[in-house]
Amino acid sequence: MNKQVLITGATSGMGLSHAIYLTSRGYSVIGTSRQVENIDLEQLKESYIQDHTKYYYIDSAKTEVRPSKILISTKINQNLDKYLEDIQYISMNVTKMNSVTSAIQDLDNIDVLINNAGLAHFGPIETYSLEAIQDQFEVNFFGYIRVIQAVLPNMREQMNGQIINTSSLAGLSAIPFMAYYSASKAAILRLTESLKIELRPFNIRVSSLLPGDINTPGNAVTACLYKKDKKFKSTDIKDMIDAIPLEKNSVYYNHGKIAWKTIMRNLIVSPPPIIVSKKVEKIIRAKRPKIHYKSGSKLQIWGVNLMKRFFSENLTTRIMAMFYGL
């Protein structure tokens, strides 16, 4: 493959997995980072291996995990250092239009854009600050728009290109106390649908990707938003649970604590990000890609499909509440 792929947020989690996997498949990959000067390839390697390790809980409280096996293919394992060196990293802050346009104008041609950069806030709708909510959308929604607007002129001129926007199953079924994350991901679905219609005359393909729970450092990043003096790893379950961003005198504390625990425990025992990366390549190679692609645990995908097709909205919200212990 000689296609050039631009991936935002490519230094951790799914973005890093996409970058490594697509590089292994012969694509030329450009990854973005807000602090490209601080990239340490050894740290990226360590993070990638951790995300592709199968873990299981060893205590009844579900706060301690033990690795079971590495889920990396022989080919990627043997060539991981080379693949990381082959990825071209550039500086980009998706919340700043000048940063986005500056980065894009220095690139020759982008065949595929994978909008992946994102973050997740946690808190009650009633009491969460408007500033934090805006921060959520600046990255997860407006950040996508900025990059799309920057790459489209060249794609239109070439009459060819592809855009893959990362949404989430949370965009279909909302997560309690993460309303802003769910809302931003739902917005991406509607954005993708409109964009696909608008770009049909220019032969630009548009799809969205809806992962479920995936073993990434996402929870650690969320916990670090509220404990800026600490550096969490995705295996630090107990420490992350203790970092709950709610005051004990909050009327939402008891329910919020239960939901926070569930969220903090879920990702580490979820499927590895490479299954999403393989879905990404499937989308790229498709002659007529669909508008939406779900990826992740088959049980989660089946459950969401079942609820959306056969269950009432009231029943769906009750099931989601039960899933998060509420």
Q: Which amino acid is at 323?
A: F
Marked catalytic residue, from 181, 226, 252, 253? 181
DSSP code of 87? S
SS3 of 120, please? coil
* Placement of tokens 């800026």 in the chain: 228
CATH number for 156: 3.40.50.720
Tell me, yes or no, if 128 is annotated catalytic.
Answer: no
pLDDT of residue 230: 85
Number of independent structural domains in the chain:
1
Q: What is the Cα–Cα distance from 12 to 47, expressed in whole angstroms?
A: 7
What radius of gyration do the chain's Cα atoms show? 19
Please provide the size of the chain in residues.
326
pTM for the whole structure: 0.95
Residue 235: count of CB within 10 angstroms of its CB: 18
Could you please report the per-residue DSSP string of 251-277?
A: TTHHHHHHHHHHHHHHGGGSPPTHHHH
pLDDT of residue 229: 80
pLDDT of residue 1: 60
Q: What is the Cα–Cα distance from 18 to 29, expressed in whole angstroms?
A: 9
Residue 201: count of CB within 10 angstroms of its CB: 9
Task: Look up the domain containing 218 and give its range.
Answer: 4-323
Note down pLDDT in tens along the chain; length 326 residues. 689 999 999 999 999 999 999 999 999 999 999 989 999 999 999 999 999 999 999 999 999 999 999 999 999 999 999 999 999 999 999 999 999 999 999 898 999 999 999 999 999 999 999 999 999 999 999 999 999 999 999 999 999 999 999 999 999 999 999 999 999 999 999 999 999 999 999 999 999 999 999 999 999 999 999 887 888 999 999 999 999 999 999 999 999 999 999 999 999 999 999 999 999 999 999 999 999 999 999 999 999 999 988 889 899 899 999 998 88
pLDDT of residue 280: 98
